[in-house]
Every structure is written in C-alpha cells, then in structure tokens.
Structure 1
Amino acid sequence: MKRILAAAAALLLACGLPARAQDFPSRSVTMIVVFAPGGATDVLARIVAEHMTRTLGRSVLVENVSGAGGTIGGARGAQAAPDGHTLTVGSLGSHSAAPSIYRNIAYDPRELQPIGLIAGTPLFFVVRRDHPAQTMQEFLAMARANPGRITNGHAGIGSTNHLACALFQHLTGVQFNNIPYRGEGPAVNDVVAQQVDSACVLAPAAVPQVTAGTMRGLLTAAAARNPNAPGVPSAVEAGVPDYIFQGWNAVFAPRGTPAPVVARLDQALRAAINDPAIRQRIEGLGSIPAAPEAQGPEALARLVRSEVDRWATVIRAAGIEPQ
C-alpha cells in the first residue's frame, strides 16, 4: 500500500510540474536590471520587457538592483525561486568578467539558466562637451602629460564600462583617475553635467547624448564608424586601431527553472527581438539586435562560457586585481 501511495504521489508531482509550466506566468514577472536606470542594460531591458508583457499576457516589471559592478543584482536574480517569475538582465561585465574580478561573487554565470541574448552594444569613448581635446590624439597627449589627473567615470568595478576603459588604458599607456558609479546612467549624467572628463559608454546611452551634443565622442571602438553616430571616428581613424570592443546584454533565469518555462520565455524574448519595430528601436540606439543564430538559451550558454574564459585572460594581462 505504501508503495502504491508513493508511486501515486510521484505521478502527481510529475504531472503537476508541466501543468504549472503551462500556466506560466501566473503573476507579473520581475526583470532585475543589474545597473542603475539610464544605462545600456536598463534601456535595452525596458525595450524588450514592454514587448514581452504583451506576449506573456502578464506585466514584465523592471527593477534596478545596482552595485558592485552588477553583481549585487546578479546575485539577487540567481538566488530567486526558479519558477520563471524573476529574470535578470546582465552584461558582459556582470555575467562573464565578474568571476575573475570578485573573489566572493555569489553566483557563477555559467551555472545560470540562459534565456537569450538581447543585443550587442558597441562602445564609444566620450568626453564632456567643453573638453579642450578635439581629437583622440589630442586627448592622449593631454592624458600622457597629466597621468592620473583626467577623470574617467564607469559603472562600477567589473562593469563592461570599467573593463572597456581598463583595456583602453592598457593599450594606450595612459592613466586615469577612475571614478566608479552604481551604473552607466549616473556616470553619463556626470559627463553631461561636466563633472567628469571622460567615460567609456555603450551605444544605447552614448548615441542619444552624442547626437544631442551634450557630450562628444572621440572614437567608437570598432573598425568602422557607427551609422547612428557617423560623426564619431572609428578606432582606426582615431589612431588606436587595436581598440576593438563590443559589449552585450542578455536575459538569465535562476538555475533549475523548468524547461517548459524556459521555452516560453525564450519564445517571448525572440518575439521581441524579431519584431521589426523593436529591432528598429535597438538599431536606432546604435546597438545590434541578436541575429537568429545568436538567439536562444544554447547560443547564450556558449557565449557566456567563451566570454568567461576570454575575460579571465584579458583581466590578468591588464593587471586588474581581484576585489
């Protein structure tokens, strides 16, 4: 009799999981953004969250949980119940480089449940609009003549912006007075307010400000100019040809999220990214929506594994000390 009851309980449990997954979502979905409002991660998350709300039939609500280069929000998302109702939008920094920078990080991005890539995010090196340097070569001459005096804002140690400017300093031999913020948005605000000299800023946060003339781009870290900011020279034109850098943003769920729920979230994210209107909005910010072959959980899992290994090597070479 006990064996019969145990078998019946197991059957009910097995039947219950798919039923709950089919009912997903049963309430609003929280999308944790690991940086403060206004940066690339936040902007892209809000674009896809709006579309996913329509697809899922439940609100997808963005919650900004910033600090420690995105790892505070990353830990919150990783430790949430694995039922699909809490997602995390992370970046190259928070979800690939962070394990090499933070000794006590509370999650391994390779062990999370990937949902999918949102977009690649080209990078701009910007200065306050009244900065005396008009070109990158003029800026480098000033920086070399004044080591440690030019201020450079970033989104926190281990963030994509921090890594981008650490690589820039490594390649050019300049030294900045580096100022960490709780996200890219606050750093950009201080460049616009002319409180900080420079920053490495991802396209969704850089392009609107550069276009508006509230800060100036000295280069885009790519071999060619960005079509949404055609007045900004490429890295090659600016005389720093090896400075090629692109960030990314992606959606993750906690480890152990049921496969049917993952499939539903994957479908909703793909619907957003492949909507022509959404792609146009992302492209209008200078970013690159995920191509079909780069979409989905398996493609994101491969990207994260390769990026964790790659950035471990770069971080060691750049002499960045673990925190």
Structure 2
Amino acid sequence: MAVPTASTRSLRPLASLRRLTVAALGLFAAAGVQAADPFPHKPIALVVPFSAGGPTDVVARSLGQAMSRHLGQSVVVENRTGAGGTIAPAYVARAEADGYTLLIHHNGMATAPALYRKLSYDPLKDFEYIGQVADVPMTLLGKKDLPPNNTAELVRYVQQNESKINLANAGLGAVSQLCGLLFEQATNVKLNVIPFQGTAPAMTALLGGQVDVLCDQTTATLPQIAANKVKLYGVTTPQRIRALPNAPTLQEGGLKGFEMKVWHGVYAPKGTPAPVVARLTAALQAALKDPAVVKRLDELGAEIVPPAKQTPEGLKTWLKAESDKWQPMLRKAGAFAD
C-alpha cells in the first residue's frame, strides 16, 4: 500500500476547498435562476375595498378571470372592506412592491383625501398605475310609489318637500353618496341623507319604501329597474346608454350639467418594477378585449374605456383630474370629513 507523502497530504485540503467552492457556485446559480423566474410565477391578489357581490367586486371578478388566462397564473379576488373603502388601499400601499398584490378601486381613490383627515396613504403618490377598466353610468331612482313621474316633476317635488325626503346612499365615500351630493347641489335642496353599509341594504330600504330616493350605478340597479320595482328618473351620463336606451338623461330632464359615472382603475404598490407594471398593463388590455369580459360588462351597463385610458398614464391623468374636481366640493361640504 502506498504511503501518503507530505505533498499528497497537503493537496487534500485544496481538493476539499474546490468541492465546496463548486457546491457554493451551484447554489448561487440556482438562486440566480429562481430570482430570474419570469413574472408571474405565483398567484396574484386583486384586492377589492368592498364586499363580495357588490358592484366593484363584480367587475373585479370578471376582470380577474380574464387576466388569469393571459398571465398564466390565478388572479384571486380578495375583499378587504371597511372605513369607506380605505382599508384596502392602505393594505396594498404597504404590500411588497413585486406585482403580486394589486388594488382595484373606483372614484373613492379621488375623494378619500377630502373625506378622511388621517388617511394613511396618498392616492397620487403611493401607487404605480396599471390602467383604467370601465366606466359605469349611474341611475337616479325613486321608490315605486313616489309621486313624481319624471325628472322635472322630481325636482319640483323635492324642492317643495325637502325636509320630508329621505335620500339613501351606500355609506361614506360611496359613489352613491357623491351622486346624492351632486343631486342636492343641482336642485338646491338639503335632504335627509340616510347612509347604509353598502349598496344592497340601501336598495333594500328603497324597495321597502323606507327611503325615497337613491342614486347608484347600473351594476347594482339594472335588475330592479328591469323588474319594475323602482321608478327610474334618468341616467347620469351626457348621452343615453345601451343598457337603458329608453331612459332619458338627467340633463334631458332639466338638470343641466349633471354628469357622473363610476370609473375603476387597477393599481400596484409604489416601486413595483417597470417591467412588471408593463406586463400587468398588457394583461389588463388583453382582458378588456376578452369576449367574456366585454359581454359581462355590457350586461352590467358598464362601458370599457378607450385604449388610451387602459394605460398607466391614462389612469394617472384621470385620477388627478377627478381629485381636482371632487375634493374641493367635498371640503366645502364640510360635514363629509370624519
């Protein structure tokens, strides 16, 4: 048997060191491959500020299913409700900026700074913009036995009976609250505003006759209109809408300049990498061409926004414009801030 010499013994530690180095390099290489995994490589959460079954949730689920098909990963709707729709944006603003936590929100992103003195996020500074989704018209409704039969008669009726009229909304920060405020200003009245915790209980109160008037989006009101369970006075858009072709606009009824729609945008936490934002925007744009999404949104009375708005810049520009429009009005109202 050969006896190890001093030189061979001294080479053994070097050989061991080489093996360790090769193993370490292998680990680093594996980590590099994992870090370079293409986005997305796991499910994405699409956070909704309102309850399941509500108008924004319905839009989110239709959109999420289509985006899943184009991304190759599940887009899972997650409802984080409360505080007038401000809990979900705060949660997403604090989430890791990796593209796996997204927010879908409506006009509330523009109005929250005027409604809450201690907002924990800045809608204009704490998010990356993915793009707009769809515009949803609103409808002004009355309980079935409310005497007026058209907008002009309704205006005269509320002006003569303002202390007796109960105006419902879905709560602080809801689009129905904004529409109600716009209606009060347009008719120069101060009604008894009754806030509810969501659209469903507000509609239930209208159907039951506990309240007189409600202004809310077609995603929530079309079934009751179709069933002839409420009085429809008009839509809040400048032109008549496909979903209700025979319904006049409120402007036709004499409320000049009365225009409001619900708009939805998708956001990611600030600092999300530009390639990830681009990938998400492309998936959003593809989803908005998906026949199933087009059909579903059309059934809800929603209208997909033009391609120029389905972009980060389109959403950013619109959010700034809506913030400039609504925040002064809400601050002037005063009582709407908490």
TM-score for the superposition, normalised by structure 2: 0.83
Change (3 A) 1:54 1:148: farther
Indicate which of 166, 180, 186 corresponds to 1:151: 166
Q: Does structure 2 conserve the Cα–Cα contact (< 8 Å) formed by 1:36 and 1:185?
A: no
Residue 92 (structure 2) pairs with residue 77 (structure 1): yes
Q: Does structure 2 conserve the Cα–Cα contact (< 8 Å) formed by 1:116 and 1:299?
A: yes
Change (3 A) 1:163 1:18: farther
What SS does the corresponding residue of 1:55 show, helix, strand or coil? helix
Q: Does structure 2 conserve the Cα–Cα contact (< 8 Å) formed by 1:120 and 1:287?
A: yes
Task: Tell me how many residue pairs correspond in the alignment.
Answer: 310
Q: Does structure 1 conserve the Cα–Cα contact (< 8 Å) formed by 2:49 and 2:81?
A: yes
Q: Does structure 2 conserve the Cα–Cα contact (< 8 Å) formed by 1:34 and 1:74?
A: yes
Alignment deviations for residues 295-316 of structure 1 (CA, whole Å, 9 cap, x no partner): 1112111111222122223324
What SS does the corresponding residue of 1:248 show, helix, strand or coil? strand
1:15-164 to 2 correspondences below 5 Å: 19-20=36-37, 22-26=38-42, 28-92=43-107, 94-111=108-125, 112-164=127-179
Change (3 A) 1:23 1:89: closer
Q: Taking every aligned residue pair, what percent have the same amino acid on both sides?
A: 36
Q: Does structure 1 conserve the Cα–Cα contact (< 8 Å) formed by 2:39 and 2:276?
A: no
1:1-323 to 2 correspondences below 5 Å: 19-20=36-37, 22-26=38-42, 28-92=43-107, 94-111=108-125, 112-318=127-333, 321-323=336-338
Which sections of structure 2, spanning at least 5 residues, go unmatched? 1-24
What SS does the corresponding residue of 1:307 show, helix, strand or coil? helix
Query: How many Å separate the matches in 2 of 1:17 and 1:146?
Result: 68
Query: How many Å separate the matches in 1 of 2:308 and 2:323?
Result: 20
Change (3 A) 1:268 1:230: same
Query: How many Å separate the matches in 2 of 1:16 and 1:155?
Result: 49
Kindly report structure 1 stretches of 4+ aligned residues shifted beyond 3 Å.
Answer: 15-18, 192-195, 316-321
Deviation at 1:125, TM superposition (A): 0.7
1:5 — aligned with what?
Answer: none
Q: Does structure 2 conserve the Cα–Cα contact (< 8 Å) formed by 1:101 and 1:158?
A: yes
| CA RMSD, 1 decimal | 2.5
TM-score for the superposition, normalised by structure 1: 0.87
Deviation at 1:95, TM superposition (A): 0.6
Query: How many Å separate the matches in 2 of 1:258 and 1:208?
Result: 42
What SS does the corresponding residue of 2:124 show, helix, strand or coil? helix
Query: How many Å separate the matches in 2 of 1:182 and 1:79?
Result: 26
Query: How many Å separate the matches in 1 of 2:288 and 2:209?
Result: 35
Alignment deviations for residues 266-317 of structure 1 (CA, whole Å, 9 cap, x no partner): 1211111122332232123222102111111121111112221222233245
Deviation at 1:17, TM superposition (A): 9.5
If you compute each CA radius of gyration, which structure gives the higher value, 1 or 2?
Answer: 2
Query: How many Å separate the matches in 1 of 2:309 and 2:34?
Result: 29
Change (3 A) 1:25 1:185: farther
What SS does the corresponding residue of 2:118 show, helix, strand or coil? coil
